[in-house]
Chains A and B, each alone.
Chain A
């Protein structure tokens, strides 16, 4: 019995370590849990990309569930995400607003003209200040904001049809129901 323990204990420790490492491999260190979830969305007042004379504010959005998608014409991953957004916008599940983050007006407009525009409007955040308030650090990012202006969901990195179907749609049903 004692002899067996001599081998079983190190073996158990070894497999415990392997277990920790296996879990660690699956964790994505880039996915930092946002402290903004279930907090009021930060205040903003930004001009529209398509109509610089018009300003959109946080208060204008109250009373409806909406999605904020942070994008930029320089963002590689946004290119992969964009077709899914265009498809998703066609379902009319939720009004999608864009936050054009640290971009320039002309390339951004051209980008939308080439790839299709899924957004009700894109807010132009040229200096990235509103992006910072939303804790943006990896474009694309997507937020779902409820009728009270509270952030209920955040996706860091590109949306996929799977995320939309498994996470976003159920949440939208809950928030609108």
Chain B
């Protein structure tokens, strides 16, 4: 990792900028060099960084075909890895995920559509691998549940407010008297302030 050769702060910034530069298509060495300059001006600790020769990142995947790689990542980014279940197949370093990414690459080369590839995965591992579960009878509660809960809550809220609006004033406890000492317990108006231990003349 490139961060290891740099002080912590500069390394983090350089890493972030490198990632941003890769997305924007700027050569990473340029962007990271800029980051070093910027952080050298910003912090004293980075002055040491200026003496460390910048090394180009080595962890960037050198895919033979960036378009294929992008499509593979787009597909596997929506698929759950079976081994570490909170990661996508695109993210995971599990052996199976590495194999499945290779499988997807070959399937793309073989001309399979995204839909066919997803189908290939669900045929083997079930809907569980899909981070976006399909809408079907067994997943109706999943899809509609939150909306229903929201509607129910709104109805309940409306009913409660409407009821309380009709109640007479004496059904409510009187509002506490607010003054500067908002954190104090409510007390009767006109209470003697000087009697309290905290108050000074």
Chain A residues packing against B (C-beta within 8 Å): 29-30, 32-36, 102, 127-128, 132-135, 137-138
The distance in angstroms between the C-alpha atoms of A7 and B24, with both chains bound, is 59
Other 10 A-B pairs with CB < 8 A, given A128-B96, A133-B124 = A32-B125, A33-B126, A35-B124, A36-B124, A128-B95, A132-B99, A132-B124, A135-B124, A135-B125, A137-B83
Task: Identify which of B122, B124, B127 gathers the most chain A CB atoms within 10 Å of its CB.
Answer: B124
* Chain B nearest Cβ from A110, distance in angstroms: 21
Chain A residue nearest in CB terms to B94: A137
Could you tell me if B124 and A32 are in contact, using CB atoms closer than 8 angstroms? no
Main secondary structure, interface of B, reads: helix
What residues of B have a CB within 8 angstroms of the CB of A36 in the complex?
Answer: 123-124
Contact among B83, B124, B126 for A138, CB-based, below 8 A: B83
Judge if B55 is at the interface, Cβ distance under 8 Å.
Answer: no
Chain B residue numbers with a CB within 8 Å of A35 are: 122-127
Segment 131-149 of B: residues with Cβ below 8 Å from A: none
Q: Which of B85, B103, B122, B127 contacts A132 (CB 8 A)?
A: B103
Report, nearest first, the 10 A-B pairs whose CB atoms are least far apart: A137-B82, A135-B124, A35-B126, A32-B128, A135-B125, A137-B96, A128-B99, A137-B83, A32-B126, A33-B126
* CB pair A132 B126 closer than 8 Å: no
- Chain B residues closer than 8 Å to A137, beta-carbon distance: 82-83, 96, 125
Chain B: minimal CB distance from A142 (Å): 17
- Nearest B-chain residue to A37, judged by Cβ: B126
CB-CB under 8 A from B127, the residues of chain A are 35
Q: How far is the CA of A102 from the CA of B99 in the complex (A)?
A: 11
